[in-house]
């Protein structure tokens, strides 16, 4: 029986790609470097902020330099923590979250977004008390697709793997769920690059109005 639902954040509950793109170009402009396109920026999302910056740096410079990467990463975090004015919640997400809570299910969040930007956007959306356990991309020594962050949320929710459903949108989320052995629901309107059929999942959906029934299988 499902007792808890754990969500990814970017591309799953919210579309933050425009704000991430804006933050990236603020960093690049401040360094006198060329901008990246929205499509480039969106393709960099998924493995956490550090990997995003590495991919951004590689795109504009043709190579990564550890000292430069570290500097760009710190500058990116500065803007990223404040970048949520253009972020939008996917349709029917608030209603679905309330419906799940109405079923007595506990809610957790497992994202590769660093914890401080995560907390900032949750506060901006009025969701800072919605999720009982929040694990960010820098909360542990490893990030998704390593299953450890997902398992940490399970531990915090005092739930076992058969008692949870994990909801995400990307290859990273699918791999995380598969490596953990978790029941995975794929939201198909996010940042995924591969065909939905190619990813590990037990169910998939494009409309959040369907989720409260789907999590129970």
List, for residues 62-120, the tens digit of each pLDDT value: 999 999 999 999 999 999 888 888 899 999 999 999 999 999 999 999 999 999 999 99
DSSP state of 110: E
> Which residue in the list 8, 15, 169, 173 is annotated as catalytic?
8
| Nearest to 128, CA basis, from 190, 183, 84 | 84
pLDDT score of 33: 96
| Nearest to 106, CA basis, from 180, 1, 214, 11 | 1
Could you tell me how many residues make up the chain?
A: 217
Cα–Cα distance for residue pair 98/161, rounded to 1 Å: 22
Give the distance, in angstroms, between the CA of residue 3 and the centroid of all CA atoms in the same chain: 22
Percent of the chain with pLDDT over 70: 100
Instruction: Write out the DSSP string of 184-211.
Output: EEEETTSS--S-GGGS--SEEES-GGGH
When pLDDT is cut at 50, 70 and 90, the band that residue 11 belongs to is very high
Q: Which domains does the chain have, with CATH numbers?
A: 4-15+87-214 (3.40.50.1000), 17-80 (1.10.150.240)
Mean pLDDT, rounded, for 145-158: 97
128 is known as an active-site residue: no
Global pTM reads 0.89
Higher pLDDT pick, 187 / 42: 187
Give the distance, in angstroms, between the CA of residue 158 and the centroid of all CA atoms in the same chain: 22
User: Which residues, other chains included, contact 150 with Cβ-Cβ below 8 Å and sequence gap of 6+?
Assistant: 6, 110, 135, 144, 166, 176, 177, 180, 182
Cα–Cα distance for residue pair 43/146, rounded to 1 Å: 20
The three-point CA angle 96-98-103 to 5° equals 95
Judge if the upstream peptide bond of residue 34 is cis by omega within 30 degrees of 0.
no
| Nearest to 97, CA basis, from 212, 216, 214 | 212
CA-atom Rg of the chain in angstroms: 17
């Amino acid at each position: 029986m499902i007792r808890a639902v754990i969500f990814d954040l970017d591309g799953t509950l919210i579309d933050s790609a425009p704000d991430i793109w804006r933050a990236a170009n603020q960093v690049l402009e401040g360094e006198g470097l060329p901008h990246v396109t929205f499509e480039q920026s969106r393709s960099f999302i998924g493995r956490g902020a550090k990997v995003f910056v590495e991919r951004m740096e590689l795109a504009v410079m043709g190579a990564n330099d550890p000292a430069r990467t570290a500097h760009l990463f710190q500058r990116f975090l500065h803007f990223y923590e404040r970048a949520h004015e253009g972020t939008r919640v996917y349709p029917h997400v608030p209603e679905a979250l309330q419906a799940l809570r109405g079923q007595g299910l506990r809610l957790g969040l497992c994202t590769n977004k660093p914890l401080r930007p995560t907390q900032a956007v949750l506060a901006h959306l009025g969701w800072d008390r919605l999720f009982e356990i929040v694990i960010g991309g820098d909360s542990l020594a490893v990030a998704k697709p390593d299953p450890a962050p997902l398992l940490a949320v399970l531990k915090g929710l005092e739930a076992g793997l058969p008692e949870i459903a994990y909801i995400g949108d990307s290859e990273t989320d699918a791999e995380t769920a598969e490596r953990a052995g978790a029941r995975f629901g794929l939201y198909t309107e996010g940042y995924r690059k591969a065909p939905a059929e190619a990813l590990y999942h037990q169910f998939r959906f494009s409309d959040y109005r369907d989720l409260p029934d789907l999590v129970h299988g």
